[in-house]
C-alpha cells in the first residue's frame, strides 16, 4: 500500500491519505492513483476504519493529473484515475478533505465526492479542462451544477480561471475556510468526531444523502423509514438511549463492538 508520494496512516479509526510529491506540486501519476485506490480499498475493507482523510500539506493540495502522463496518453489507454474515482464516488464511509494552496483539475473535482471539505485561506482552486483542450471529468459536469447552479458551474468550467476558497465555499463544495495553520487540526477534529459516531448510522445516512435527488419526499421518507426501523433496534441505539435515561456516558464497546 505504500508509495513514496502517497503517505498513508491508519490510526484511531482514521485512514489519512496524504499526497506528497512537492517537487512537482503534488501532481498525480498513474502509480499515485493506484496507491490511493489501494488505500481506499484497505479503508473500505477494514471494519476498524471509520473515516478517510484526504490531504496534501498546509500550502499545497495538488496540481492535478501529471501533465507528462497526459502527454503520453493515447485515446484508448486505460486511466488509473478512473478506478480511483469510482472507489471514491462509491465509498460508503465518510470522506473528509483538507485543501490548501493549489487544487487544480482533479484536485478540485475529487472534492465533489467528499463529505466534509475544509479549505485554507490560501487555497486556490481551478478547473482548467477547457483551457487544456479537454472536458470535465470525475462527474463534475453533473455534480458541480448540482451544488453551485448552472451559471456558477459554467463560469468555473468554461472559463477555467483560478478561484479562491471563499468562492469555493459559496459555490457549495467547501464547508469551511480556515487559516492555513489551522487546516489540518480542523480536518482531523472533524474526522475524529465522525470516527466516534455509530458507524452503521453514518453509512446509512451517507447512502441516503447520495440517493438520486429526483425522488419525491415521500419516496425518501419511506426509504429512510426502512433503515430507521432497523437502526432503532440495534444495540448501538439501545445503548445510547439507555445511557441518556440513566444519565451516564454511552459505553463505546456497545456502540462500536470490538472495533473501539
Q: What residues line the site for ligand COA (CB under 6 A)?
A: 24-25, 27, 63-68, 102, 104-105, 128, 132
Q: What is the 3-state secondary structure of 37-98?
A: HHHHHHHHHCCCCCEEEEECECCECECCECHHHHHCCCCCCCCCHHHHHHHHHCCCCCEEEE
- Torsions phi, psi for 255 (to 5 deg): -95, -40
Nearer to ligand COA, 27 or 255 (CB): 27
Smallest gap from residue 81 Cβ to ligand COA (A): 10
Closest by CA to 10, choosing from 36, 43, 44, 38, is: 43
Give, in degrees to the nearest 5, the angle at Cα 21 between 64 and 170: 40
In angstroms, the CA 56 to CA 97 distance is: 9
- CB of 97 vs ligand COA, minimal distance in Å: 17
Residue nearest to ligand COA (CB): 105
- CB closer to ligand COA out of 21 and 256: 21
**Minimum distance of ligand COA from residue 233's CB (angstroms):** 48
Closer Cβ to ligand COA, 111 or 195, answer by number: 111
Instruction: Tell the smallest beta-carbon distance from residue 58 to ligand COA (Å).
Output: 15
Choice between 24 and 210, CB closer to ligand COA: 24
Q: How many residues does the chain have?
A: 260
Nearest distance, CB of residue 19 and ligand COA, angstroms: 12
Pick the closer one to ligand COA by CB: 25 or 192.
Answer: 25
Q: Between residues 51 and 98, which has the closer beta carbon with respect to ligand COA?
A: 98
Q: Which of 221, 122, 131, 125 is nearest to 172 (CA)?
A: 125
CB of 202 to ligand COA, least distance (A): 32
C-alpha cell, 163: 478561484
Alpha helices for 90-163 (secondary structure H): 106-109, 140-148, 150-154
Main-chain phi, psi angles of 28, to 5 degrees = -105, 125
* Contact between residue 51 and residue 92 where contact means Cβ atoms under 8 Å apart: no
Nearer to ligand COA, 110 or 188 (CB): 110
- In the complex, what is the shortest distance from the CB of residue 256 to ligand COA, in angstroms, rounded to a whole number? 40
Q: Are 161 and 104 in contact (CB under 8 A)?
A: no
Amino acid at each position: 500500500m505504500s508509495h513514496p508520494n502517497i503517505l498513508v496512516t491508519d490510526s484511531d479509526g482514521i485512514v489519512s491519505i496524504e499526497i506528497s510529491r512537492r517537487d512537482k506540486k503534488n501532481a498525480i501519476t498513474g502509480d499515485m492513483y493506484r496507491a490511493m485506490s489501494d488505500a481506499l480499498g484497505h479503508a473500505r475493507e477494514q471494519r476498524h476504519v471509520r473515516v478517510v482523510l484526504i490531504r496534501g500539506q498546509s500550502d499545497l493540495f495538488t496540481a492535478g493529473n501529471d501533465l507528462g502522463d497526459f502527454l503520453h496518453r493515447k485515446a484508448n489507454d486505460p486511466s488509473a484515475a478512473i478506478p480511483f474515482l469510482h472507489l471514491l464516488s462509491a465509498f460508503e464511509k465518510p470522506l473528509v478533505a483538507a485543501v490548501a494552496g493549489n487544487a487544480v483539475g482533479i484536485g478540485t473535482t475529487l472534492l465533489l465526492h467528499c463529505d466534509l471539505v475544509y479549505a485554507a485561506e490560501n487555497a486556490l482552486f481551478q478547473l482548467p479542462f477547457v483551457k487544456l483542450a479537454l472536458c470535465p471529468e470525475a462527474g463534475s459536469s453533473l455534480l458541480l451544477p448540482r451544488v453551485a447552479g448552472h451559471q456558477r458551474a459554467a463560469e468555473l468550467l468554461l472559463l477555467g480561471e483560478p478561484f479562491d476558497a471563499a468562492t469555493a465555499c459559496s459555490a457549495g463544495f467547501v464547508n469551511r475556510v480556515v487559516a492555513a495553520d489551522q487546516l489540518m487540526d480542523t480536518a482531523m477534529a472533524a474526522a475524529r468526531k465522525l470516527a466516534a459516531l455509530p458507524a452503521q448510522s453514518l453509512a446509512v445516512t451517507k447512502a441516503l444523502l447520495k440517493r438520486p435527488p429526483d425522488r419525491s419526499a415521500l419516496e425518501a421518507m419511506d426509504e429512510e423509514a426502512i433503515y430507521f426501523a432497523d437502526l432503532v433496534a440495534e444495540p448501538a441505539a439501545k445503548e445510547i438511549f439507555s445511557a441518556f435515561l440513566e444519565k451516564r456516558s454511552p459505553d463505546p464497546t456497545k456502540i462500536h463492538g470490538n472495533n473501539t
